[in-house]
Amino acid sequence: MPYLNIAEVESAVTALATSYPGLTELVTLPEASVEGRTSHALRITTDPQARKDCVLMIGGVHAREWGSCEILVHLAADLLEAHQGGTGLAYGGCHYTADQVQVLLHRLDLVLFPLVNPDGRLHSQTVDPMWRKNRNPAYGGASRDPACVGVDINRNYDFLFDFATAFAPTATPQVSASPCDPQVYAGPSAFSEPETRNVRALLDRYPGTRWLVDVHSYSEDMLYNWGDDENQSADPSMNFRNPAYDHTRGLPGDVTYAEYIEKTDADSAVLLAEHFCQAVAGVRGRTYKPESGFHLYPTSGTSDDYAFARHFVNPDRGKVLGFTVEWGTSFHPPWAEMERIVLDVDAGLVGFCLATA
């Protein structure tokens, strides 16, 4: 089986909803993509009326990271088939019992959005394999440079979006204000893109969401909050909302700034990331590293940090710990290897969900 094209991803999601009507809800995202495509997410729930904690998983954000969609589609199919059949799950050397599958889905709701950026994926699969952004042509002016199309969806969320103000002058956050940056253009404003607004809509629609996992490639990591600076739990005033710390963020090893996170949240994030990595290792021995997003590189405007930041900005919103999977060691591994990566990551995600208890 080769990588799925965008029509196949959509048909897989809708087919699962049709095949398991008592366990799923097909969710139509409120906004079409820039090129007019409608996207769907899949809610897996044993009781649509119950107020259960929810794990939101998204993929296909960066167009060239083809396997992320397949990881989430296969995870949904595995869990639904195992739950309905009363069986366990086997991922290489990592096994989950039938009881664990039942407990997982009776205790949690899962919302899976496998393809956030359909326009970009189509362009990557048919024109430019290394394309990363969406396909919004609105901000490049009269330039005919093909790089001047698109926004990096995972820099377009409302978290320290004004990075020039937020970060120290010598910091090197991986983000750009130039529409012609071929990789990390953040867009003209937070949530300027329909794709990011669709993810926000899912967080709003399911207020029981307590964990967000954004599936990316590559580097074999499981990242947790925060991405703008190193973590600290001693000084609550040292936080992303405090303008007194503008122009100081993003420097490793300094004492001027570190991003506040409650110790219980920091401990929970580390523990969940470790459970994910341990489950991955159980499949065939791949070693994924749990670390904060900042230790990969400093960023702003990312999904995981936005999800966690929401409850600081508005205490009426539930707390959502944010995570980013970085699977594999290349964007387009041969399909035979991608099949193995799917097993690795799906085992990790099941382990992650079980560990949320």
> Domain residues of the chain, as ranges?
6-355
**Token pair recorded at residue 17:** 């909803």
**Token pair recorded at residue 49:** 């009326």
pLDDT of residue 144: 78
Q: Where are the beta strands (DSSP E) in the chain?
A: 24-28, 40-44, 53-59, 89-91, 94-96, 108-113, 209-217, 221-224, 231-232, 259-260, 289-292, 321-327
For CA atoms 73, 77, 80, 86, give the dihedral sign.
negative
pLDDT of residue 1: 58
Distance of CA 137 to the CA centre of its chain: 24
Are β-strands 94-96 and 89-91 bridged in parallel, bridged antiparallel, or unpaired? Answer: antiparallel
Name the fold adopted by 6-355: Aminopeptidase (3.40.630)
Residues 83 and 103 sit within 8 Å (Cβ to Cβ): no
Q: Which of 5, 313, 54, 74 is nearest to 215 (CA)?
A: 74
Residue whose entry in the numeric block shows the structure tokens 């799925």:
4
Q: What pTM did the predictor assign?
A: 0.97
Q: Is 165 helix (H, G, I), strand (E, B) or coil?
A: helix
pLDDT of residue 143: 73
Across the chain, which has 357 residues, the per-10-residue mean pLDDT values are: 93 98 97 98 94 96 98 98 98 98 97 98 98 96 86 98 98 97 97 98 98 98 98 98 98 96 98 98 98 97 98 96 98 97 98 95
